[in-house]
Amino acid sequence: MRRPLIAGNWKMYKTITETRHLVSELVPGLQAVNGVEKAICPPFTALLAASALLEGTDIRLGAQNMHWESSGAYTGEISPMMLAELCHYVIIGHSERRTYFGETDETVNLKIRAALKQSLTPIFCVGETLRENEAGRTAEVVSRQVREGLKGVDLMLSGDFETELVIAYEPVWAIGTGKAATSEGANMVIKDIIRPALAEQYGVDLAQAVRVLYGGSVKAENAHEFFHAPDIDGALVGGASLKSADFIRIVQAAAKG
C-alpha cells in the first residue's frame, strides 16, 4: 500500500511573519490526521521559520526549486546542500518553472540527480499543456518527460516498498485555472502512461511503489473524488494550501481515501 502524501506548494506567497501564522494554524489540525504524510513547501525565505515551528511534528518541509550545482557563482540560486539542512522534499520541474523560467527535461534531470545525491526526495512534476491535450499528445508528452527527467537516475525499493522519488501529474491546463481534470482522466494518465514509463526503466515492482500525486486545482470540495481513484496517491496542492482550514480538509479527505 502506498501511503498518501499531501504537499502544499505555497508558490510566491507568504512573508516570514505570515508563514509563522499559517504554520501555527496548520500544525494542530494536520497532527490530528493519521495515515497520511503531510508536507508544506514555503518560499525559500520562510523555510527556516517554518522548520522551527515544525520541529517535533510529523509534518515534512519542502522547497519549491533548487539549482543542480552544490555551490558556485550562480547569483540568486539555492543549492541542494543548502536545502538538505532544512528540507525533506524539493519540487522539481513544476510547470511554472518550465513555462516562465525556461526549465527543460535536461535541467530537470540534472536537478533530480543532484537532489538525490543530497538525500532530498524530489517531487518530480510532469504534465501536458491544453494544446497538447487537445491534440491527443498527452501520452507522448508525459512519457517523454518521465523518461528524460529520469535518464540515468538510479532508483531502488526500500524494505518497506517505498522509493526516494515522488511524481506529481499536473496537467498544465488545470493549474491555477480552477479547471481540474476528472479523477478518471487523471487516474488513466497515471495508470496507463506514467507507471508504464517507470516500468520500462525500473521494472513493474518499483513502478507500482512510486507515489504519484495529482496537481491541478485541488480543493477541499473535489479532493475526495481524486483520492478515491486507485492510482492517485495524494495531491500537490496550490492555492488551497494557503488556507489552513482548506488544506486540513484535503488531508482529512486523503485519510478517508
Residues known to be catalytic = 94, 170
Which one, of 245, 195, 201, lies nearest residue 223 by Cα? 245
| Residues 217, 194 contacting (CB under 8 angstroms) | no
Residue 176 CB partners (closer than 8 Å, separation 6+) = 217, 238, 239
Q: Are 17 and 49 in contact (CB under 8 A)?
A: no
Residue 205 CA to its chain's centroid (Å): 21
Residue 30 near residue 59 (C-beta atoms within 8 A): yes
Place of cell 488556507: 243
Cβ neighbors of 100 (< 8 A, separation 6 or more) are none
**Cα radius of gyration rounded to whole Å, the chain:** 17
